[in-house]
Amino acid sequence: MSSNSSESKSGSPQRRAFKIDEAAEVLGVSHWTVRRLIKSGKLTSVRALRHHLIPSEAIDRFLEVGEINPKK
C-alpha cells in the first residue's frame, strides 16, 4: 500500500485547509483575531469564492514564528 503525504500516522486524512472559525479554534483565538491576522499579513489565506481558507502549513508556520512574513 502506498503512503499518502496528506494522511496522518493513524491513516486518517489530515486537513489541508481550515475555514476562519476552524482556524480560530485551532489557534485558540476568536474569529475576529484570525481576520485581523489575515488582514495584517501575519497569517496567509486563500480566497475560494467568498470564503477564506487558511492552509494548515500557514497555521503551523504562524505557531512556530508568530507571523508568516517576518521582517528580516
Over residues 13-48, the pLDDT tens digits come to 688 999 999 999 999 999 999 999 999 999 999 998
Neighbours of 38 (CB within 10 A): 18
Domain ranges of the chain: 17-65
Band of pLDDT at residue 8, cut at 50, 70 and 90: low
Band of pLDDT at residue 67, cut at 50, 70 and 90: low
State the pTM of this model: 0.70
Distance from C-alpha of 24 to C-alpha of 29, rounded to nearest angstrom: 5
pLDDT at 3: 46
Contact by Cβ (8 Å): 67, 39: no
pLDDT at 20: 96
Contact by Cβ (8 Å): 20, 34: yes
